Structures are given as C-alpha cells and as structure tokens.
Structure 1
Amino acid sequence: MLWPMPETTIDTAVRDLSDRDRAVREAAERRLLALGVRGIERLLPHLPDRSVKGVLMRLGDEALPRLREIRRQGPGRLRGRALELLVDLAGADALDEADQAAVERLIQVKLPHEHPVKLPWEAGRWLAFPAERMDDAVAALGLHDLRPVTTVLGVEATTRAEDCLEFQDARGEKRTAYRVFITPEFESWLSEVPIRSWRMVWGNSLIDQLDGFRLADVLSERCGEAHLYILDPYNSAENWYVSRDGRGVRSFGTYDYPHFAGEPLPFEAWYQETAFDEEEAAKYAEGVPDALTAADNLSVEPGLMRDDLTHGHGWLATTEAEVPNSRFRGALPV
C-alpha cells in the first residue's frame, strides 16, 4: 500500500529542490515525482517555485485530468495556478470551452485600454512594413489563425515563450510552425519619411530560422518596402536592412565586410553633415551603423510608443493552418 506523504515531508522535499547538493536535489525530485497525480493539489501552492514547476511539468499529460478537475471543482485558491499549468503543459487547447471563452473576453476587455504600448528593443529582431499593406503582409508570410491580442501578450508569445512547434502534417511529413506577432499601427513622427504608418513583425524563431533578410525581401515584394533590424548585445553586433520591391537596397552589419552595402539613404547624409566633432564624423563617414537610429529614421523605433501615434491593436498568427495558436504551450500575460 502507498501511504500518503505527510505535508511536512512535502515541504522538506520542496525545500531540498533548491539545495546546493545535487544528490539532495535529485532525491527530493524523485520523492515528489513518486507522488504522481496524487501530489498535484499539494504541490500547486508552491508553483511560483521554478523547481516545483519543473516537477509538475514532468508529469506531462498524466496531470491534465486532475488539473481540469481542480479548475471545475476547486479548491478555489488553486484554480488560477491549475489554469496556468494547464496552458504550460498543453497550450490553450487543454482548456475547456468556458476557460477559453473567459480568456478571449479578458483580451477583448483590455484591448481598448492598452495604449500606450511598449515594445522592448532588447527582444532583439523585428521586421517592419507599411501599415496599410497588412493584407499583403499576411499573404506574403503565409499567416493563419489571426487573433486580436494585446501587445504585452504578443511580444511575450513570440520572443520569450514557445514560438515554434514541430508537427507532422496530414501527409505524415515533419514540419515546423512559427508564431508571429504583428503590432498595432505606429505613425512615424518624422515628416520626411514617405510612409507615415508602420507595423512590426515579431517572432524570434521565425526570423532566425527562416532568414530575416529573405523575409524582408518577401515582404517588400508584396508591400513595396520592408526592413529588418537586429540587435545582438551578446555579440556586440547590429544589423539593419532595407528592401524595396523584393530586393535589398541598403544594409549595415557589424560583422559584414564591407559593413555597408548599397547607396547611402537620405537620412544618413544628415548625420554625416551635422557631425559635431571628428569622432562623430568618423562614425558616420560611411553611413549610420546603429540599428535603432536607422529604425527611428526609416520607420519607427521600439520602446514606449506615443499614444497619439498608435492606432488599433496587434494580431497573433501562425505560419501553418494545421497549427493554430492554441497549440503553442506557455501561459501568457494579458
């Protein structure tokens, strides 16, 4: 007969998950895993602890029925954490219809009040295209299951949470689906920029694995113009790339040789002509080497976006019709 583990023993095992001794940590994990689904209700109160979450995640699909039961029947203090773990384990598909509808209602309530929005430049890479060419951009990238979402949810979904998913298609072939966030419309504050409003495309795995430069060309072929911006603090590197009508016209790359390609753009001449000392003149002698400066002059720069220059809401989408957003795992902020 399996005797229940006393609450004090569970508390001790949870504490041991953070022990400096690896053997102690592994022994604690084995004790907690041995509880199986019987331990879910007793471990959920400790869920903010990442080590405890790791134990619960290892239960996998075995945990789903009990978590759904807690969602329906309580105890009430655990219903929120059961919801979070359900989505972490199996995506929104793991939720029942009532929970899915509740999440959608929450998003709809928050959408009209989310301005001003903030886009974290440290997320690293993004594409930009003319806002009025939204339909063309969706067609160019082959997007499906477009859903209105808040910016905080969209950025989290495509830069920090699971944003790519391997699956087997109807023909039995292995493929990869990517999750993409298209931002609200942002007006450029520079009067000399011909295109007044822009949207950005966020999706780290999409840009990394499908070649962001190629994606910019694909976008610009349908939208007239598109840009790629990359910030890589880890390698002290930056890139910016302008594509028009399907081909690159100007680019900079920290580790490209030569650093610049194509003819300088008009905004770069201003930096060259207004340099206030020799050091700045040398920096801009060939062009503008800063991705954020280029974005600020060519389209829009991420950061806290001005409320009066922000319009509409963002969209979350996937690149495969067979893999809707609800298949991607991970609880997201709204």
Structure 2
Amino acid sequence: MPDTVESLVHALGDRDRGRRAAAEDGLVALGAEVVDHLLPILSSGRPRRHALRAESVFRRLGEDAVPRLREIRSHGPGHLRRVALRLIADLSGEQGLDLADRRAVERLIRVKLRSERPVMLPPESRWLATPADRFDALVAALGLHDLRAATTVMGLAATEAGSAHDSMQIKTPNGDKETVYRVFITPQFGAWRLLYGNAFLDAFGGEYLTEKVSGQCGEAHFYRIDTYHDAHVWCVARNGHMVRRHASWGDPEWVGDPLPFEVDYLEDRMWIEPSLISPQGVTDANVAARYLSVDVGYMPESETHGHGWLATTHPGSPNSHFRGALPI
C-alpha cells in the first residue's frame, strides 16, 4: 500500500492533466492515511501544480484529515507542524484548533494590534462609513454578533470578495439554508469608522444598508469603486433617507441635490479634473469620500485610534465556525 500511495503522490505532479486528476481521485479514495505523504509537498517548495493538487486532496478529505493533522501538530515531526496548523484552520476553522493553539493565536493578535501602523485600506473596494461615536448603533442596526478584536490585515482578508472566509451556509431549524456573513469594522479614522464585507454588502445592497444604518447612526455613506468596469457609486443617507447618490451605470444616475462640497468642487476643479466631475456633481467615489468622511489608502497614524473588529451576522455562527487561515 505505501508504494501505491507514493506512486499516486508522485503522479500529482505529472505534466498530463488527466493523470494528475486520476491521482487526486485515488488519494481521496484512500482517506486520511495519505495525510503524512502529502504534507511534505506543502512544506518543501514543490512545483505549483504539485502543491495545488495536494491542497485539493486536503479540501476534498475535509474533516476526515483533521484528526491526523492534530496529531502531527501536537507530536511532530517538527518541520510539518506549521503546515498542519494552517490546514486545520483551512479545513475546520478556529474550532478545530486545540486550546494551546487558540491561545497562541489570541496572543499574537494582541501583539500585532499594538504595532499595526500605518493601516492600509484598499482604494478599489466597497465600504460603509459611519460616525465613530455611533459604534453600538451600527452593530445594532446590522444585527452583528461575536465581535472579535482583529488586525486590519486579518479583517480585510476575512471579508475579501470571493474568499472562503466571508460567508458560510447553515441549516435553519426547519431545514432551510441560510447564509451567514462576516464583516470587518475598522479602527477609528478621525471621526469615522468603516465597514468592509464584500459578500454582505453585495447580498443586501450597499445603498439599502446605508439607509438602514443611518436610521440609527444619524448618517451613513456607501462607496464602491470598480476600475475594471469604470464604475463609481457613492451615496449619503441621513436619518433613514437617501439625500444624495451617484451611480455610474445607475438608472437614474443621480439622486438628490448636489451637496455643498460638490458645488465648491465644481467651481474650483471643473477645468482641472473634468473626468472626475459632471455638470450634475462629483462622479469619483474617492473624491466624495475624501470630502465627506475618509480618503482610503495609507491611513495617517495620527488619525488612527483603537483597533478593528470582526463580526458575524448570526448569533449561532461565531467567527470560530468560519473556515480558513487568516494572515495576522
């Protein structure tokens, strides 16, 4: 049997796609006994196609691989303990880690939080902005649960579009499926906090959530920047009502009257930056964010206060239930 396993492991790196796929299927069929044979591939810098197939085998094995990975994490061999830890997190989430590893991760997060400056926020993304002093109102308005202190790198990775970390499906008591989302609330920047969560914002609609949040926070903004499609969206809601919105491909494109900053900007900049402005108002969401709340990018240390928080949208699905290893 070991010879069979080794031949299949070797075939994972074959140049022929069909042989690689057949080897993967064969290893999955053998079950958890292949764990010890595959881990060295992920810790030795093998060619990318070899490592990707090994990762795929682990994903397909799922929880069946976790008991043996825990044994390796606890008892070695030492050079495989790090990759075993990552795979446990990928396959089972935080709940798959033993108590010592969970405490080690918590300590590392606390250390990183003390030194995470400057904070970098992606300029091409989507986010909500709310007054920092209405943090509790934001949490209540969105029905958030299990708030955990998190570094910005960790929070953004957990809520990135298309990642395996930003949402999960659960079964309701009546047997239906429900999607649970994870969001990241940033540290305070000046007078504002931002909320990231691409899957969450896309599922419910940034503009709808802006109005909803503003009903409890007094004011809320939504920004979306998609340079690939040359699309910019920004809106401002106050006390539960939309007062101004621009959407590049929206119908209508504009809602509400120009805000004071737009009037000033049109008068001062129209001849300098015509691509960022139309006769109706400011079209660039980054420009709107700069004047209305926070200009994202490298955030000045002097304006950054506190730390960020990861949260989920369901009381029965804490952060520990989400799978995937996050950078810290």
Q: Is the 8 A contact 1:180 1:203 kept in 2?
A: yes
CA distance in 1, matches of 2:286, 2:270: 20
Alpha carbons 2:12, 2:21 under 8 Å: kept: no
Find out whether 1:47 has 2:42 as its counterpart: yes
Q: Is 1:131 aligned with 2:125?
A: no
In the alignment, the residues of structure 2 paired with residue 38 and residue 67 of structure 1 have an alpha-carbon distance, to the nearest angstrom, of 11
**Contact 1:230 1:239 survives alignment (8 Å):** yes
RMSD of aligned alpha carbons: 1.9
Corresponding letter in the other structure for 2:126:
R
Pair 1:204-2:202 in alignment: no
Q: CA deviation at 1:121?
A: 2.1
Distance 1:155 1:234, change over 3 A: same
Q: Does 1:23 align with 2:18?
A: yes
The equivalent residue for 2:97 is: 95
The alignment covers a number of residue pairs equal to 319
Distance of 1:33 and 1:282 partners within structure 2:
54
1:236 aligned to 230, 233, 241, which one?
Answer: 230
Counterpart of 1:126 in structure 2: which amino acid? Answer: W
Counterpart residue number, 1:192: none
Q: Answer yes or no: is the 8 Å Cα contact 2:276–2:282 preserved in 1.
A: no
Preserved contact between residue 138 and residue 216 of structure 2 (Cα < 8 Å): yes
Match of 1:194 in 2: none
One of 10, 16, 33 as aligned partner of 1:12: 10
Asked if 1:274 corresponds to 2:248, the answer is no
- For normalisation by structure 2, the TM-score amounts to 0.92
Aligned residue in 2 for 1:65: 67
**2:167 aligned residue (160, 164, 169):** 164
| CA-to-aligned-CA distance 1:102-138 (integer Å, 9 cap, x gap) | 111110111111111101123x211110000001101
**Farther off after superposition, 168-177 or 198-207:** 168-177
2:96 partner amino acid: A
Give SS of 1:140's match.
helix
Gaps of 5+ in 2: 44-50
- 1:56 maps to which residue? 58
The question of whether the paired residues in 1 share the 8 Å contact of 2:39 and 2:80 is answered with yes
Q: Which amino acid aligns with 1:121?
A: P
Q: CA deviation at 1:34?
A: 4.2
Secondary structure at 1:120 match in 2: coil
Residue 182 of structure 2 is matched in structure 1 by 179
Q: Deviations over 1:162-202 (max 9, x none)?
A: 21111123454432211010000001xxxxxxxxx100111
Unmatched segments (≥5 aa) in structure 1: 188-196
Identity of aligned residues (%): 50
**In the alignment, what sits opposite 1:328?**
322
Distance in 1 of aligned mates of 2:325 and 2:39? 15
C-alpha change, 1:279 and 1:216, in structure 2 (3 Å) is closer
Q: Output the amino acid matched with 1:223.
A: C
2:133 is aligned with what amino acid? E
1:193 counterpart residue number: none
Contact 1:13 1:31 in 2 (8 A): no
